[in-house]
Amino acid sequence: MTDGVVERSRPRDRILETARDMFHKHGIKGVGVDAITEAAGTNKMTLYRHFESKDELIVECLRANAAKAGAMWDAFEAEFPGDKLAQVHAWVRKAAAMLNADGRGCDMANAAAELTEPDHPARLVIKELKEAQRARLVTLCRDAGIGQAELLADTLSLLFEGARVSVQTVGTEGPSTQFVRMAEGLIVSFRGTAAG
């Protein structure tokens, strides 16, 4: 039996997990590879044996985040099998929970704010992962029988995205406190219109 998932896992996994946590808390440019490897209980050489550069490590961290987000969608389906409308409401609750979880916003959005080079490898994966998220929410809304599913999904997306940066700038007592009310009101409103 392994005594601690983080401590006794392979160095590559520890590095990835530690980097994800530190990038999230302190920003990408705010963390050096030395700090990551030390926190992961390893060293710089081992990092560069598994990742060819810091940029590649960043990309892998973002992909790992996306994988966790994908698991979230699967959890909705598992909790409310077939009931797409319930899953939409579950998404709202999950989003609200994230807002109060910590004062840091979305890792993808934060990375996009930091990595300004237009051809940075991370920008590509950020874009495609955000588009995948959007597609899943659109599909969910559509399958829930809501008219104008794209518009509702986009509105909910922007509200959530905005709430995350609002938490980061003014804290949890700002406009983001109204997020659930806004989202639920919108869903009701859109369900009132034509339902395909």
11 binds DNA (CB under 7 A): yes
Residue closer to DNA, measured from CB, 35 or 98: 35
**Which residues fall within 8 angstroms of residue 42, CB to CB, at 6 or more apart?**
11, 14, 15
Q: Which of 19, 21, 25 is nearest to 51 (CA)?
A: 19
**Minimum distance from residue 60 beta carbon to DNA (Å):** 13
Residues in contact with a copy of itself by the rule CB under 8 A? 25-27, 29-30, 104-106, 108-110, 112-114, 116, 126-127, 130-131, 134, 151, 153-155, 157-166, 168-171, 174-176, 178-179, 181-182, 189
For residue 181, how many C-alpha atoms fall within 13 Å in the half-sphere facing its CB? 4
- Of 38-46, 69-77, 107-115, 158-166, the window that binds DNA (rule: CB under 7 A) is 38-46
Contacts of 150 (CB under 8 A, 6+ apart): 138, 141, 142
Nearest distance, CB of residue 46 and DNA, angstroms: 4
